[in-house]
Amino acid sequence: MTEVSKKFSITVPDQIFELLAQWADEQGRPTANLAAYLVESGLRAAIDKEEFQPQSKDKQINKDSR
């Protein structure tokens, strides 16, 4: 089965959005792309620190998808 990326919306305070947009602009990438990277990075960190453990092996983050 082919893996498909999912979309979802979040609401952040104006100040957070402005900082995120500035950072994304400095990197020459879309704000949504940077936000997705930060979510993935935070999830990886939580798993590495054992703050969160996926319930099944097939739900773990593929290290090759970085």
What six digits make up the tokens of 9? 């919306």
Residue 45 maps to a domain = yes
Banded pLDDT at 66 (limits 50, 70, 90): very low
If you count them, how many residues does the chain have?
66
Measured CA to CA, the distance from residue 50 to residue 38 in angstroms comes to 18
Q: What are the start-end ranges of the H helices in 1-66?
A: 14-27, 31-48
Measured CA to CA, the distance from residue 35 to residue 42 in angstroms comes to 11
Residue 55 maps to a domain = no
pTM above 0.85, yes or no: no
The tally of domains found in the chain comes to 1
Q: What digits encode the pLDDT tens for the residues 1-60?
A: 788 889 999 999 999 999 999 999 999 999 999 999 999 999 999 999 999 988 876 656
Residue 66 maps to a domain = no
Measured CA to CA, the distance from residue 22 to residue 50 in angstroms comes to 31
Range of the domain at 45: 14-50
Residue 36 maps to a domain = yes
Residue 64 maps to a domain = no
